[in-house]
Chain A
Amino acid sequence: DGGITQSPKYLFRKEGQNVTLSCEQNLNHDAMYWYRQDPGQGLRLIYYSQIVNDFQKGDIAEGYSVSREKKESFPLTVTSAQKNPTAFYLCASSIVGVNEQFFGPGTRLTVL
């Protein structure tokens, strides 16, 4: 089955800790994206990547970092610099260009 997997489903973090969210896809897509969703808000773009070893900041990149060492993987690190990290994080992928985006099941991060 082709698709996007995200792990873990739930993540709890203490203040001051960095945490890494996993996103893997087997759709052979070059483009991958990270979004953040807050209650009652639209999704907002954190980072995106169109090719291995390259990525670009989205609208709300502060306090986050990413890497793209493999085509299939696009992990997101939420650093201690992110002031309000509690949110639902969604990963997506697409063929590069004006094409349909497909989403993973999401990771819910809670800061204790």
Chain B
Amino acid sequence: KQEVTQIPAALSVPEGENLVLNCSFTDSAIYNLQWFRQDPGKGLTSLLLIQSSQREQTSGRLNASLDKSSGRSTLYIAASQPGDSATYLCAPLRAYSGAGSYQLTFGKGTKLSVIP
């Protein structure tokens, strides 16, 4: 069974600071890993998808890394802004019960607050 842990559970930083969110998972037999953003009461917005063969993926001020063998991923946010305040979720994808079926397993998230 895959277990996903995100540390810290909550983080408060001043505007402009660079920050790192951590994600660890117990089953390294994954195909990819997605990072999502969730605003209060809203759905999930996909931020980055890292394939298992990749080490890094970048989108604007966001950079995600993946170390599949050690079961770790990090999300780096550069020059944080108040609009970055949200809960960030990581979810590795692995094979599920049915043939050709795959499952995302979610962590509980890191709640980020960027203070103006």
Task: Assess the B42–A106 pair: CB atoms within 8 A.
Answer: yes
> Which of A43, A102, A108 touches B41 (beta carbons < 8 Å)?
A108
Asked if B116 is at the interface (CB within 8 A of a chain A CB), the reply is: no
Chain B interface: which size bin?
20 to 34
Task: Assess the B101–A42 pair: CB atoms within 8 A.
Answer: no
Task: Assess the A104–B43 pair: CB atoms within 8 A.
Answer: yes
- Interface membership of chain A positions 73-112, coded 1 if the CB is closer than 8 angstroms to chain B and 0 otherwise: 0000000000000001010100011101111111010000
Asked if B21 is at the interface (CB within 8 A of a chain A CB), the reply is: no
Asked if B63 is at the interface (CB within 8 A of a chain A CB), the reply is: no
- Evaluate whether A42 and B41 lie within 8 angstroms (CB atoms) in the complex, with A100-B34, A100-B46 already known: no
Chain A residues whose C-beta falls within 8 Å of the C-beta of B55 in the assembled complex: none
Asked if A48 is at the interface (CB within 8 A of a chain B CB), the reply is: yes
- Interface membership of chain B positions 99-113, coded 1 if the CB is closer than 8 angstroms to chain A and 0 otherwise: 011111111110000
B55 CB to nearest chain A CB (Å): 17
Task: Assess the B101–A56 pair: CB atoms within 8 A.
Answer: yes
> Which of B44, B100, B106 touches A96 (beta carbons < 8 Å)?
B100
Chain A residues whose C-beta falls within 8 Å of the C-beta of B103 in the assembled complex: 45, 58
The distance in angstroms between the C-alpha atoms of A43 and B4, with both chains bound, is 11
The distance in angstroms between the C-alpha atoms of A89 and B24, with both chains bound, is 25
> Which of A44, A56, A98 touches B31 (beta carbons < 8 Å)?
A98
- Interface membership of chain A positions 36-57, coded 1 if the CB is closer than 8 angstroms to chain B and 0 otherwise: 0000111111001010000010
Asked if B93 is at the interface (CB within 8 A of a chain A CB), the reply is: yes
> Which of A43, A58, A100, A108 touches B49 (beta carbons < 8 Å)?
A100
- Which 3 A-B residue pairs are closest in the complex by CB-CB distance? A42-B106, A98-B31, A103-B44
Residues of A within 8 A of B (CB): 4, 6, 40-45, 48, 50, 56, 58, 88, 90, 92, 96-98, 100-106, 108
